[in-house]
Structure 1
Amino acid sequence: MVPVTAITKAIINFRDIQDKLGLQRTDNPEFFPEWRDFLPPPTDQEVLALNRLAQRYLAYLEEGEVSEGTLNIILFSPLLDALGLCDPPYRIRGETWVEVQTQVDDEAGRMTLEGRIDALTVQDDFWLVVIEGKRGGFSVLRAVPQAIAYMAASPYPDRPVFGLVTNGYDYLFLKLERGEFALSQSFTLLSDADSNLLRVAQVLKHLVSVSLETSGNGRAR
Structure 2
Amino acid sequence: MTKTKAITDAENRFGFVRIEDEQFFPEWCEELPTITETEKENLDVLRRRYIYHRADGNLLEGMVMLLLVSPLIAASGFYDPPFRIKAEESVNLLVDDGEEILRGRIDVLVLQNRLWVMVLESKKTTLSVLTAVPQALAYLMANPNSNLPVYEMVTNGDDILFIKVVQENTPKYDLSRVFAPFTSAKELYIVLQILKKFGQLVTPTNL
User: TM class, shorter-chain normalised?
Assistant: 0.7 to 0.9
Is 2:152 the counterpart of 1:163?
yes
Alignment of 1:124-139 (within 5 A): 126-135=112-121, 137=125, 138-139=127-128
26 and 133 in structure 1: CA distance in 2 versus 1, 3 angstrom threshold: same
Correspondence 1:188 to 2:180: yes
**Structure 2: which amino acid aligns with 1:94?**
A
Q: Which residue matches 2:196?
A: 205
Give, in angstroms, the shift of residue 117 of structure 1: 5.1
Q: 4+ runs of 1 displaced by more than 4 Å?
A: none
Measure the CA separation in 2 of the matches of 1:32 and 1:42. Answer: 21
Greater mean alpha carbon deviation, residues 19-28 or residues 153-162? 19-28
Whole-angstrom distance in 2 between the partners of 1:24 and 1:219: 25
For the pair 1:87 / 2:74, whether they are aligned, the reply is no
Residue identity in the other structure for 1:127: N
Q: What runs of 5+ residues in structure 2 fail to find an aligned partner?
A: 92-103
Query: 3-state SS of the aligned residue for 2:114?
Result: strand
Which is higher, the Rg of structure 1 or of structure 2?
Answer: 1
Asked if the contact 1:193/1:199 (under 8 Å) is kept, the reply is: no
In the TM superposition, 1:25-104 aligns within 5 A as: 25-96=18-89
2:162 corresponds to: 173
What code does the residue aligned with 2:115 have?
A: V
Q: Residues 46 and 128 (structure 1 numbering): CA distance in 2 closer, same or farther, change over 3 Å?
A: farther
TM-aligned CA deviation for residue 219 of structure 1: 6.6
**Count of paired positions:** 190
C-alpha distance after superposition, 1:70-110 (max 9, x if no partner):
11122211221122211111112122589xxxxxxxxxxxx
In 2, Cα distance between equivalents of 1:38 and 1:85:
20
Taking the aligned partners of 2:105 and 2:130, their CA distance within structure 1 comes to: 17
Alignment check: 8 A CA contact 1:117 1:150 kept? no
What is the aligned-residue identity percentage?
34
- When normalised by structure 2's length, the TM-score is 0.83
Q: Distance in 1 between matches of 2:90 and 2:188?
A: 28
